[in-house]
Amino acid sequence: MLKLKNKRGKIDLGIKLCKNCTKEYHESDNFNWSCKTHKSDFGGEMWWCCGKKDEKAPGCKTAKHEFKDDEDDEERVKS
């Protein structure tokens, strides 16, 4: 119940959750370079897509944040 209350408050404030990078954002601050993710998996020593050695290195692929809707989660569970 508490999780639902917190979520409702964030929606009312205009805070959204990105389905790619899982960061919170405001649509007014969503630019083409806001969401940073990697194109491939971390191979143990480096990211295969860009060669960065730190597992927590910022992503090499930039884009706008994409809104994570609860319906997206429900569809995955059904499939």
d(CA 64, CA 40): 18
- The residues spanned by each domain of the chain are 16-67
* pLDDT at residue 53 in the model: 95
Read off the pLDDT of residues 17-72 as tens digits, 9 standing for 90 and up.
999 999 999 999 999 999 999 999 999 999 999 999 999 999 999 999 999 776 55
- Residue 47 pairs in a beta bridge with 42
* pLDDT at residue 13 in the model: 74
In DSSP notation, 32-63 reads TTSEEE-SS-B-SSSBTTT----TTPPPSEEE
